[in-house]
A and B are shown apart, each in its own frame.
Chain A
Amino acid sequence: MAIQFTDSSVRFGQKTALHPLSLTLAERRIGIIGLNGSGKTTFARLINGLVKPTEGRVTVNGLDTVADDRAVLGEAGFIFQNPQHQLIMPIVREDIAFGLKNRGLTNAEIAAKTNAVLARFSVSHLAGRRVHELSGGETQLVAIASVVVTGPKILILDEPTNQLDLKNRRLVAATIDGLEQQVLVISHDLGLVDGFERVLLFHEGQLIADGQADDTIRRYHEVAGC
């Protein structure tokens, strides 16, 4: 159970978004930090194949993100920076069920799985609500539930506490803590990744620090000059 980068790099036209890197990610909780435009999101999107490596390869639990791209999407779920972009259907229950369609499940099975995941995240009371009526914290929880219901083994969250108040930050942090999946979190919220087993620091498209949270966060302060 691991994510493997082998000399993987990404270029968009002439611009190198991510310089070649090789590493293995097997820890249960991994933080990804760095300044804006440092390559964090590109790195994370390589994992579930939303971005393909220009050179090298990325494998997720042995599956190649280019050759086995559809299978990789089932292994690694992605929660976007703006969860509104990921909520496709207007009603919470419909949106959770959306990811379960086209899998040969009956309507009863889809309903059962939807109800189970809503209960698991303590958001059953939101089932009939319109997604645009949810608070920031509720939207984030529904977005996480909508991905977890499809059964991924890895979850990647792109700035999950962005624009949340303190109460909702704590709610989302506790939810992330309770997930049984391997979790990678991109965040500017250093408190969120502080207790993680491993934290990666990106700067100008390069991985410049990789280790325990304390050391990497200290290095981040040096890079940011504050």
Chain B
Amino acid sequence: MLRSLYIEGNTPFHRLPVRVKLITLMTASIALFFVSSLQILVPTFVTTLCLYLALGLPWREAFGRIGWIAFAIAIVALATWYFNGLHEALALTFRLMALVLLAAAITATTTISAFMDEITVMLQPLERLGLMRAADVSLALGLVLRFVPEILDRYENIREAHRARGLPIRPLTLFVPLIILTLKDADTIAMAIDARGFRRQ
């Protein structure tokens, strides 16, 4: 099944130009790195949370999308608390969660095609210097966004197949088929991209 992380809508954030969104994310990522005051980080986190929840995603899906990364941040925060104290751990959590929520909001309000077009334009100067092919980089980024839900779907299918056969779920029997199937599909899709002439020139 081919799904998309994009959610149709007409919120002000949907209408914001892609370039503005990407520059905002980049600026916020750099700026928040230098901030450790909770008086700034907590309101930033609350603002991005409100922005994300205002996009119209069902709550379950909204939290499901960021669940794994929130879990990873929680582990890092616990380690930081142990080694550097509570203030550092809270600052790290609010900083990273604010960025994750902003990035998730951008992903949910921007089509893959719009992402690819904008990234191609933004990378043109580097292409002129002969450092890269802008279209290839934008395609790679677009495919990552396109594949994330696909891989999650496949993960669920393999889990269900285990349950249906009454097999215990073990990392080895879960991730090995997931990796093999993903690589096999990636091969076919790469072939389809070539067959459709995207990289003709």
- Chain A residues within CB distance 8 Å of chain B: 48, 50, 70, 73-74, 77-78, 80, 82, 84-91, 94, 97-99, 101-103, 130-132, 146-147, 150
Contacts and interface: CB of A to CB of B under 8 A. Distances in A.
B112 A73 contact: no
B2 A86 contact: no
A130 B3 contact: yes
Interface stretch (B27-35, B88-96, B190-198): B190-198
A104 to B, nearest CB: 9
B200 interface: yes
A48 B4 contact: no
A88 B192 contact: yes
Nearest to A151: B197
A99 B113 contact: no
A77 B3 contact: no
B188 interface: yes
Given A89-B112, A94-B111, A74 B197 contact: yes
A101 B112 contact: no
Interface residues of B, number: 26
Contacts of A130: 2-4
Contacts of B143: 88
Contacts of B192: 80, 85-86, 88
A135 to B, nearest CB: 14
A90 B197 contact: no
Given A102-B199, A132-B1, A88 B191 contact: no
Contacts of A102: 135, 198-201
B200 to A, nearest CB: 5
A132 B3 contact: yes
The list of the 7 closest CB pairs from A to B, nearest first, reads A90-B4, A94-B113, A86-B192, A99-B196, A132-B2, A78-B195, A85-B188
A150 B185 CA distance: 23
Nearest to A130: B4
B200 A74 contact: yes
